[in-house]
Structure 1
Amino acid sequence: MTYSEVFSHIYSFMKHDPRGNYKLMLGTDSQIHESHTLFITGIVVQRIGKGAWACFRKVTVPRCMTVLHERISYETTLTEEVASLFTKEYIDALIQIVLPYIYKGASFMVEGHIDIGAGERNKTRVYVNEMMARIQSLGIEPKIKPDSMVASSYANKFTK
């Protein structure tokens, strides 16, 4: 799908129930295969408690990216690329859907899911501040494990 088609699906999904609580969540995961590294960026709009619509973007790097920092950084870059497509005008259009209903409980937020964790035994913990700062600099709420379900669960499912 083109970005316009993706946005159209998200817009229609939200327009169907403008009183909902919405999260637009973006996140990337990767998997090293025999001769390449596969990256999947998930784009998920969730109507909390009432379903979701999702799609993903696939990028293949024709080599095994075994250096963890490089792979985590590239995952974050791909999430940033997709996030940059959601310009102020696009985000404003989605906000306008729920705006008349915010005093009745409607909401909309954008999150960037990063497939890293801050746990003591997690090898990626040394990159948490760096990657969170990158996502935050886009004006997006960064989420890490266990709250980064688009990267660590949805996108992960398609990397295998």
Structure 2
Amino acid sequence: MQYQTKQWRKLTGEYLRNYIEDEVHGALLREKELGHSLKVCIGTDSQVKGAHTEFATVIVFVRKGRGAFMFLNNETTREKMSIKQRMMTEVSKSIEIAYHLSNVFTNHKVDMEVHVDINTSPAYKSNAALKEAIGYITGMGFSFKAKPEAFASSSCANKVVQ
């Protein structure tokens, strides 16, 4: 299945012209030619805005010691969700794109992590989804990071939904 390119864009707002897997492949080739060592982090965050919930998913390309860049997309739903359901929807959106792109990352020998905007402290409501999220992500064979190390979801995607 190929993802529509009109949904994915750069942080500048420029829409990607090709399918996301082709754009990621091209980005990895360009960065490799420039001598950059990369790690990719995928994360999703959401924001409830009245009757709507907006989700932002990001693919962050971290150039070790040389900054980062990202591709992103937004989706909106009118479905009412509990906090746990919303957290697991975020995880599901990240897993979906990570799984879709996993062969590209494997072929380029690039490490990839799934970042979740779920707090590891039981004092926070999002923590109710932590065990299920960890099981889902690791069960799919991916590495994960949760708050406070999950910058792709907690910082990058968060800035796109505010």
- Normalization by structure 2: what TM-score? 0.81
Structure 1 residue identity aligned to 2:21: S
Taking the TM superposition and a 5 Å limit, the aligned residue runs for 1:67-146 are 67-88=82-103, 90-95=104-109, 108-146=110-148
Taking only aligned residues, the RMSD between alpha carbons, in angstroms, comes to 1.7
Match of 2:24 in 1: 7
Match of 1:87, SS state, is helix
Question: Which amino acid counterpart does residue 25 of structure 2 have in structure 1?
Answer: S
Q: Which has the higher contact order (CA 8 A, sep 6+)?
A: 1
CA distance in structure 1 between the partners assigned to 2:102 and 2:44 by the alignment: 19
Superposed CA offset, 1:90-139 (max 9, x none) = 123211xxxxxxxxxxxx41100000011142222232121011111222
In the aligned structure 1, how far is the partner of 2:102 from the partner of 2:117?
A: 24
Larger Rg: 1
The aligned counterpart of 1:56 is 72
Unaligned runs of 5+ in 1: 96-107
Report the alpha carbon displacement of residue 33 of structure 1 after superposing the two structures with TM: 0.6
Aligned length: 145
Residue number in structure 1 paired with 2:56: 40
In structure 2, list runs of 5 or more residues that go unmatched. 1-15
Question: Is residue 22–residue 46 contact of structure 1 (8 Å, CA) maintained in 2?
Answer: yes
CA contact (8 A) 1:115 1:144 kept: yes
How far did residue 5 of structure 1 move? 4.0
User: What amino acid is aligned across from residue 126 of structure 2 in structure 1?
Assistant: T
Of Structure 1 and Structure 2, which has the larger fraction of its residues in helix? 1
Distance (whole Å) between structure 2 residues aligned to residue 137 and residue 17 of structure 1:
34
Per the normalisation by structure 1, the TM-score is 0.82
Q: Following TM superposition, where does structure 1 have runs of at least 4 consecutive aligned residues deviating by more than 2 angstroms?
A: 62-65
1:10-21 mapped onto 2 (5 Å cutoff): 10-18=27-35, 20-21=36-37
Give distance in 2, aligned partners of 1:43 and 1:79.
Answer: 9
